[in-house]
Amino acid sequence: MFSRSAARVLKNSAVGGVAGFRRSMATAPQKVPMSVHEPSKYINYQRIEDNLEIVRKRLNRPLTLSEKIIYGHLDNAAEQDIQRGVSYLQLRPDRVVCQDATAQMALLQFMSAGIPEVAVPSSVHCDHLILGENGAESDLARAKDVNKEVYDFLATTCAKYNLGFWGPGSGIIHQIVIENYAFPGALIIGTDSHTPNGGGLGAAAIGVGGADAVDVMAGIPWELKCPKAIGIKLTGRLNGWTSPKDIILEVAGILTVKGGTGAIVEYFGPGVDSVSATGMGTVCNMGAEIGATTSVFPFTESMHRYLVSTKRPEIAEASRQFAHNLRADEGARYDEVVEINLSELEPRLNGPFTPDLMTPLSKFKDTAKEKDWPEDISACLIGSCTNSSYEDMTRAASLAKEALDAGLKVKSSFIVTPGSEQIRATTERDGILEIFRNAGGSILANACGPCIGQWARHDIKKGDRNTIITSYNRNFTGRNDGNPATHGFVASPEVVTAMAFGGSTNFDPLTDTLTTPSGKPFKFTPPNGSELPSRGFDAGQDTYQAPPANRDQVSVKVSPESQRLQLLQPFKPWDGKDIENVPILIKVKGKCTTDHISMAGPWLKYRGHLDNISNNMLIGATNSENGEANKVRNQVTGEFDAVPATARYYKAHNIPWIVIGDENYGEGSSREHAAMSVRFLGGAAVIVKSFARIHETNLKKQGLLPLTFNNPKDYDRINPEDKLSILGLKDLAPGKSLTLRVTKPSGESIDIVVDHTFNENQITWFHAGSALNEIAKSNK
């Protein structure tokens, strides 16, 4: 559905780099603090310089930007095998960032490893547990009360183990990171799938599970399969209604939700210079929707301006000095190149139910009628980690003020979520939020809120068909409000704001008019805004807690009676035997994201309690046997029951079980609970047509067997009542397939070839029962 006039796709292409590229540099900038919060921790550009000198001699070819950053952080550049899409790289990231929902399990795992403090700069951000309902002030107060036990745990654990702590109200993790921690050339890992937002400042910021974060916090090299490189060449210039959001909506439409799997998406070309740093963050943030490892932009003057504006002038100057390693070499080769002419790109709306179903705005009203999407727009929501920059807010406000001046108010519910306390305070000072209020909008707390299902919605009943348009990143079924009948569309904040005044999918703000109270026609003019605030940023309230100088007296307590937190018990090591004649818990049909495997929304409160959160395991997945969710047959009793209840029955009777899945299984969030719950309730393996990257790694980390059908058509040869055996585990080795023996109720058996991507190190996780067990063993 994408416009061929705006984009074209090339395979295995070498492209020109940036004029003035220099092959090497004898020295790199020295003694530049990583952030204002860690003045004694320094950016190590020299390590990148030294590693790349080794890698260039070994590979003897031009390097992409993503290769420079990733290879620049190799643990052992001289001996590391480097083959795109093949090698497993051992890396030394600069930083770990955790949001409060995933931080609970990550820190519980770190505590159980017996390590006194984190080995790299790390931080925790309280953004996921704040329910959006009545407005910022009351919602935040309620969250502090309801989540006090969890916030106290996170605050004291951070203090004990030397992490920075951003309390509730600080803002969304990714906005805080780009405002304080990201820098050009950084390698950051975060326990949230939208960590790639840091690519807006030229960082390779990668979403991972909590177990990966524990590796890095424990000082162990982090493992990543050597990414392929997808180049997005931008030409032309953004103008008029078109925004950075439309770039990634276009890319998602071209590459689909799994087109970026196993690759870093790297933007380059003359069009890059028309995109602001925060706009680049938007583009990189939503790279998670195409399954990309991460996304990056080369160093630009807009990054320099943003760093200076956020009180990091030393980093801005050091990045400028180091710019030769912060962009691709001339002639660097990509596995695939997509060219997009920004001058010809028009606004897009993606959805419903998937972020890669792309419709140009000019065709939206006709497509909506053709597809019978609900015409009335019940809610329009802007902000989130994806689009809450000062530029986003001012461009959206320009439209709202124009409509207000004509006497118009919004027709749809209009909700605004500032991304951080800094953005809230600055937009409040500059009158931006007041414009939204006057238009009929409501302002929520600086938190994730409706973007992740933390939305206490009262205007729509579950099951009612309705349309919402957001500037968020995800629109899976039920994602925002828990209602599977809500048709969610993703667009830029500007388009969302204009559609709030139109109130209908039958309204095109670029061409159509509205009638003012005086009876006059009103037509929007293109939005305009400011890249950065002319008076600088207002930091607002200080919600940051630095680790204390003396951490010995800090105590971390978890009550045995707590329903929110639970200390972890190690999973059992592999028993040395094949898995034989075990039942299928569920054969999943169709899309199965991490939202289906381990829902968010009301379940967020159990993210630190493995037993309790396991009660949501796979309750959203569709059972192929009956086409229903959360209703599977117990293969022992013959009775149908909920998926977690059936799994608990098997576990109580010492019966391992297996999940069968479809394509791109585990797409979506980084949440490791989707893997941990399967392991906790007795799962042995997950066998699918294909995996999303993060989820496959998470399964390995928890001692499970993530396997793929060598022939995807073999999925159809398996029925839910079959018994399965996985043979050849004693000889588990990299690249060596296993045998899946399928025994039918008649006694007939068939053998199917299943593959895996375990390397030698990951096999030790399986043998030990989990990666955490292996870490704990090495620290004894």
Identify the three-state secondary structure at position 704.
coil
Q: What are phi and psi of 8, to 5 degrees?
A: -145, 155
Q: How does DSSP classify residue 518? A: T
Q: Take residue 267 and report the two structure tokens written for it.
A: 């933007």
Return d(Cα 686, Cα 690) in angstroms, integer: 11
Of 128, 424, 673, 679, the catalytic one is 128
Q: Do 395 and 536 form a contact (C-beta atoms < 8 A)?
A: no
Return d(Cα 464, Cα 477) in angstroms, integer: 13
Sequence-distant (≥ 6) Cβ neighbours of residue 436 within 8 angstroms: 396, 397, 400, 414, 416, 443
Q: Do 240 and 526 form a contact (C-beta atoms < 8 A)?
A: yes
Q: Tell me, what amino acid is at 168? A: P
Of 671, 673, 693, 695, the catalytic one is 671
What are the DSSP calls for 474-488, one per residue?
--BTTTTTS-TTEEE
Q: What are phi and psi of 43, to 5 degrees?
A: -65, 135
Active site residue 128: yes
Peptide bond into 720 cis (omega under 30): no
Q: Are strands 204-207 and 187-190 parallel, antiparallel or unpaired?
A: parallel
> String of b and e for 698-707 (b: at least 16 CB within 10 Å)?
bbbbbbbbbb
Of 192, 246, 662, 714, the catalytic one is 192
Identify the three-state secondary structure at position 450.
helix
Of 295, 389, 624, 669, the catalytic one is 669
Q: Are strands 579-587 and 723-727 parallel, antiparallel or unpaired?
A: antiparallel
Helix H segments across 38-168?
45-59, 65-71, 100-112, 136-146, 148-161
- In order of 88, 89, 299, the CA distances from 714 in angstroms are 28, 32, 47
**What H or E segment, with its residue span, contains residue 301?**
helix 301-309
Q: How does DSSP classify residue 329? A: P
- In order of 129, 168, 611, the CA distances from 444 in angstroms are 13, 13, 31
Return d(Cα 631, Cα 317) in angstroms, integer: 59
Q: What are the E-state strand segments in 689-727?
A: 705-709, 723-727
Residues in the chain: 780
Of 94, 100, 127, 714, the catalytic one is 127
* Residue 695, phi-psi category: left (phi > 0), alpha (psi -120 to 50), beta (remainder): alpha
What is the chain's alpha carbon radius of gyration, rounded to the nearest angstrom? 25
Count CA atoms within 13 Å of residue 244 on its CB side. Answer: 29
Active site residue 474: yes
The single residue listed with the structure tokens 């980690």 is: 385
Identify the three-state secondary structure at position 588.
strand
Active site residue 320: no
Kindly report the CA angle at 510 between 507 and 512, in degrees rounded to 5?
Answer: 45
Return d(Cα 243, Cα 348) in angstroms, integer: 10
Of 474, 564, 673, 695, the catalytic one is 474
Q: Which residues are catalytic?
A: 127-128, 192, 474, 669, 671
